[in-house]
Chain A
Amino acid sequence: MKGTLSIGAIQLILACAISAALIKPVQDRLDDRVGKSTKVLDLLYFGSPTAVKRLALGYDGLLADVYWMRAIQYYGRREEAQRRPVLYGNLAALLDITTTLDPHLLNAYRFGGVFLGEPEPMGAGQPQEAIRIIDRGIRAFPLEWHLRFDKGFIYFWYVSDYRKAGDVWLEASRVPGAPKWLEGLAAMGLSKSGAVETARMLWQRQYDEAERAEVKENARKYLLTMQINEDCWTLEFFVEKFRKRFGRRPAMLQDLVSSGLLKDVARDPSRVPYRYDPASGRVRISPETQLGYLKKMPYDYRDPFLKKLEERYGPD
């Protein structure tokens, strides 16, 4: 018996191996079934931050980390939000609990600012909640200029209160150690409310300053979207110029180069050509683009941008 395997044992091992091989397909089928139902509800068992703090039995930091990780999981669903509606209804409560348990989690305030304020479907679409969370952060970290920068960012993009954004950035620029460019940003916000330059500078700063990879990536996507929008609008502008000059729209974008209107036809940042519809004259990003999901700009600046092009190249 010892040392060698009996036929019975071999049969048993085989049966176990076959069953083990079946576990994966069975689990996958089960996941499909459960995934198809609306079973998973976004539940918060304890909605009150103070109740959670009492129940933490001194493990406040540990529990804060748990809640923080759950909040981050919300962020993980942003890709999913491209395909189907995702509810972020509990994000504010999660951040509230996290920061009550551990008021020193700076990222929780900043994270809240960026993603809580962002419009649906990519964010929770709760800018006022975002401002409330950041204000709590400012009380906990009065010398942290980043929080005021984020607060101004939310006022600018998600509340469209450019003056207020400018005021907050001005306040941020007065915090010891704040960078010089904040004054410039505040000035732009206060003088040219909603200007394209302010928007671009904002995302660029967000991109440069972000410590978290997700925040950086978010800003990069906005910058890419801005570039793509501007490329498409520019091409459409020249398509219209072509129409005015030759009485018809170009059959393809390359015609803009052969007619001498453009030196080169822009491609998207992944080097994929833009898609042109000669019937409508509209230029869009190609579905074959390698850029993945892009942002929907909360602020439409097509008209001021076209006006600038007109000033530069003339209307005809």
Chain B
Amino acid sequence: MKILTIGRNTFRENIRDKILYNLILFALLMILSSIALGQLTLGHEAKVIVDLGLGSISIFGTLIAIFIGISLVYKELEKRTVYALLAKPIHRWEFITGKYLGLLFTLLVNVAIMAAGLMLTLLYQGGIERYTYLNLLPAIYLTLLSLMVTTALALVFSTFSTPALSALFTFFLWVAGHFNADLLEFGNLAKTPGLKWLTRVFYYVIPNISNFKVIDSRNVIQAAAYFEPINYAALGWVTVYGILYSGILLGIAVLIFSRRDFK
């Protein structure tokens, strides 16, 4: 119950943040601009719209997750509101989990707005089968899962670092997380067993953000020649991965925050 209260307040606080509106507006503009870009291509207009739409949702969702995630704890410390909060019968883990869930809910609402924008754009473009809209949902779901991991990552850094450094660390790991497969490939090509081993360790330790890209426009537009059916087994394993990884990060954030001395 306390977690939900903290989460609700975090959500309210977030929706008052101006940066959020700027980012959503920019994302919606990007999605709308796909109509113009779609006309520049020779065929595949729907693919361009879907690619740009899903890309915008993912990128702007990540920016929101990072920029708000990094200040979640820091802001409370800076304004000294954390002292008042922790003086109440609230455990530190409840505080962290509540903050995390509040931001996740904020992201859910934002992604829903952006997804609606994408669907309206597709509707305007026309010629899209009804099931295309349904096929978009797993892709959007995966984007949310990736945001869940990114938010947890930002939260971990925000428990012990400044917002600027936290943003840098989170962004760095998010970028690195897109190159996990290349890292593994690099290790496989390497002649040194030590390097091979090291790349394998990094492959599992660095959040594998590319896991959340197993669904894209190729799985959405069913009428297209390049269509590939959605791999639901992969979707299931990505879900397990996302929950496990976020759980670990949340656990680390709670542990760090619990050991912090606020005197």
Contacts and interface: CB of A to CB of B under 8 A. Distances in A.
A38 interface: yes
Interface in A229-287: none
Interface stretch (A12-20, A116-124, A179-187): A12-20
B20 interface: no
B228 interface: yes
A16 B258 CA distance: 15
Contacts of A37: 228, 231, 234
Interface stretch (A24-32, A97-105, A305-313): A24-32
A34 interface: yes
Interface in B201-248: 203-204, 208, 211, 214, 218, 226, 228, 231, 233-234, 237-238, 240-241, 244-245, 247-248
Given A2-B259, A12-B255, A37-B234, A26 B241 contact: yes
B23 interface: no
Interface in A13-65: 13, 15-16, 19-20, 22-24, 26-27, 29-30, 33-34, 37-39, 41
Contacts of B138: none
A76 interface: yes
User: In the complex, which of the residues B189, B240, B251 has the most CB atoms of chain A within 10 Å of its own CB atom?
Assistant: B251
Interface residues of A, number: 26
B122 interface: no
Contact of B244 (A2, A19, A73): A19
B241 A27 contact: yes
B255 A9 contact: yes
Given A16-B248, A39-B214, A73-B185, A27 B231 contact: no
Given A16-B248, A34-B231, A23 B241 contact: yes
B234 A33 contact: yes
Nearest to A73: B185
A22 B251 CA distance: 15
Contacts of B258: 1, 9
B248 A20 contact: yes
A27 B93 CA distance: 28
Interface in B147-193: 185, 188-189
Chain B interface mostly: helix
Contact of A26 (B237, B252, B255): B237
A18 B86 CA distance: 29
B204 A27 contact: yes
A190 B247 CA distance: 71
A250 to B, nearest CB: 44
B237 A33 contact: yes
Contact of B228 (A8, A24, A38): A38
Contacts of B204: 23-24, 27
B261 A2 contact: yes
B233 to A, nearest CB: 5
B188 A76 contact: yes
B208 A27 contact: yes
B254 interface: yes
A26 B240 contact: yes
B254 A34 contact: no
Contacts of A27: 203-204, 208, 211, 241
Nearest to A79: B188
Nearest to B180: A27
A296 B208 CA distance: 39
Contact of A19 (B228, B233, B247): B247
A13 B254 CA distance: 10
A30 B185 contact: no
A72 B208 CA distance: 23
Contacts of A9: 255, 258
B233 A33 contact: yes
B158 to A, nearest CB: 18
User: In the complex, which of the residues B189, B237, B258 has the most CB atoms of chain A within 10 Å of its own CB atom?
Assistant: B237
Contacts of A33: 231, 233-234, 237
User: In the complex, which of the residues A16, A27, A41 has the most CB atoms of chain B within 10 Å of its own CB atom?
Assistant: A27
Interface of A: 1-2, 8-9, 12-13, 15-16, 19-20, 22-24, 26-27, 29-30, 33-34, 37-39, 41, 72-73, 76
Interface of B: 93, 185, 188-189, 203-204, 208, 211, 214, 218, 226, 228, 231, 233-234, 237-238, 240-241, 244-245, 247-248, 251-252, 254-255, 258-259, 261
6 contacts: A13-B255, A19-B251, A26-B240, A30-B238, A33-B237, A37-B228
The 7 closest A-B pairs by CB, nearest first: A16-B251, A30-B237, A33-B234, A33-B233, A19-B248, A76-B189, A19-B244
Given A2-B261, A20-B248, A23-B204, 16 more contacts: A1-B258, A16-B252, A19-B251, A23-B241, A23-B244, A26-B237, A26-B241, A27-B241, A30-B211, A34-B214, A37-B231, A37-B234, A39-B214, A39-B218, A39-B231, A76-B185
